[in-house]
Amino acid sequence: MGLSTPPGRVLVLVKGWPRLSETFIAQEVLALQRLGLDQVIVSLRHPTDHERHALHRQVTAPVQYLPEYLHQEPLRVLRAVAAARRLPGWSAALKAWLTDLPRDLTCNRIRRFGQACVVAAELPAGVGWLHAHFLHTPASVARYAALLTGLPWSFSAHAKDIWTGQPWDQRAKLAEAEWGVTCSEQGRNHLAALAPEPDRVELVYHGLDFARFPAPPPARPRRDGRDATDPVVLLSVGRAVEKKGFDVLLEALARLPAQYQWRWIHIGGGPLLAALKGQAARLGLDRRISWLGARPQDQVIAQYLAADLFVLPARQAQDGDRDGLPNVLMEAQLMALPCIASRIAAIPELIDSDATGVLVPPDDVGALAAALVNLVGDPEQRDRLGRAGRARVRSAFGCAAGIDRLWRRFCDGLAGHRRGRPSAPSGALAQAQGSEPWTSPSMLR
């Protein structure tokens, strides 16, 4: 893109690395890496997925894990706190934390301050910016670490962190962060209303790196639900959590006419998986369902190519959690796979109902069942919607524009910080206090 190399490193704080459910983060890190951004990944948690995407294997940034729970590495935490107390920003960070603590008197709030001390005390050399993915816990660590070190920071907000966060906490972060981005217009409007200046939060769609995906099949089978030996293949990709609405989908599938021949494939882990399997058995659907669990993206793409219809009946969970703009919908549409989804969150920013897909009201079993009946039996309509959805994604949801915007943000921010403020302390400070600097971070290879 003809841009100069940014003068410094960006420390990227994430909740977990790597995570199969967060391809959008891996895609962004890799794209910025290819442009020349020097990044260090710092994860609040150790990985729990047994597999990784090819994207993760291509990321060369060093990866370091903070103490997931402070009691697991007490000496490391104590050394970090002792080192952090000598930093010029200790008083400001402690004051901010003590202000927050009575409003969120939890172990989580204590843990975030301890983790921030570790970040500040073990800061890798050359880091000039902190960036947090998600506005809840990673941004809390970034905020306290920024106060300790004097470094500027920014954030990417996504979905749950926007809708389940406390307004007082979000206001404080929005007031102190240099800037933030989010992946939906609905999310941007919500956060802009809490920010001291509305333009502090910018809409940057994740988009897709089209080069990572094969061409869709030139034509899909003309399945119409009448052949028991060749049923219509329905696909859903998403964690088994309340906001995905898979329990609603099971109820809708149970209402399909008995003569309809279909099979549903679910990809994803999640805490409600066992409950969903139990529900499917009670409804007499279990023999028509394949539960594949969490899978790497190459296997997900293979399922996009083989399926006839993608279904994501998203809803708002009881705690307020909801999707932003699910990447899986963009991926399915890029593969010319027709989609049924809920009219909620940012999904209407992607899908124009009856033109590039079908939208139904959330939690409406009857409407979802009717949409399934219409599309299961109509391969021509599926083909039309699939082609239109692909054209929409190709025209408006590539990742290049968003990555270019982030690149420029980081370049400008690093250059401005270098001109205007002294360098932050590096791992040398932690070494002087007996802590190990991040010169040999653990790598996932």
Give pLDDT tens digits for 294-324: 999 999 999 999 999 999 999 999 998 888 8
Superfamily of chain region 9-206+399-432? Glycogen Phosphorylase B; (3.40.50.2000)
**Beta bridge pairs of residue 296:** none
Q: Which two tokens stand for residue 65?
A: 């894990």
DSSP assignment of 61-113 equals S-EEE--SSGGGSHHHHHHHHHHHTTSTTHHHHHHHHHHHGGGS-SHHHHHHH
221: which 2 tokens? 């089978």
**What are the E-state strand segments in 93-187?**
127-133, 153-157, 179-182
- Both tokens of 167, joined, read 């307004």
Residue with tokens 């790597």: 18
Cα–Cα–Cα angle for 7, 10, 11, nearest 5°? Answer: 150
CATH topology agreement for domains 9-206+399-432 and 211-396: yes
Q: Give the pLDDT confidence score for residue 420 in this predicted structure.
A: 57
**pLDDT one-digit tens code per residue, 326-344:** 999 999 999 999 999 999 9
| pLDDT score, position 23 | 87
Put the strands of the sheet holding 63-65 in their side by side order. Answer: 63-65, 38-45, 9-16, 127-133, 153-157, 179-182, 201-203
For the chain, the structural domain boundaries read: 9-206+399-432, 211-396
Task: Give the whole-number percent of the chain exceeding pLDDT 70.
Answer: 93
Class of the CATH domain delimited by 211-396: alpha beta
- Helix, strand counts (H, E) of the chain: 18, 13
Whose structure tokens read 């003309």? 222
pLDDT at 55 (0 to 100): 86
Q: What is the DSSP letter of 258?
A: T
Out of 21-25, 115-119, 302-306, 438-442, which region has the weakest mean confidence (pLDDT)?
Answer: 438-442
Q: Say which DSSP state 423 is in.
A: P
Distance from C-alpha of 230 to C-alpha of 266, rounded to nearest angstrom:
18
Which two structure tokens, joined as six digits, stand for 279?
């529900």
Task: Quickly state the pLDDT bin for 433 (edges 50, 70, 90).
Answer: very low
Task: Compute φ and ψ for 64, nearest 5 degrees.
Answer: -125, 145
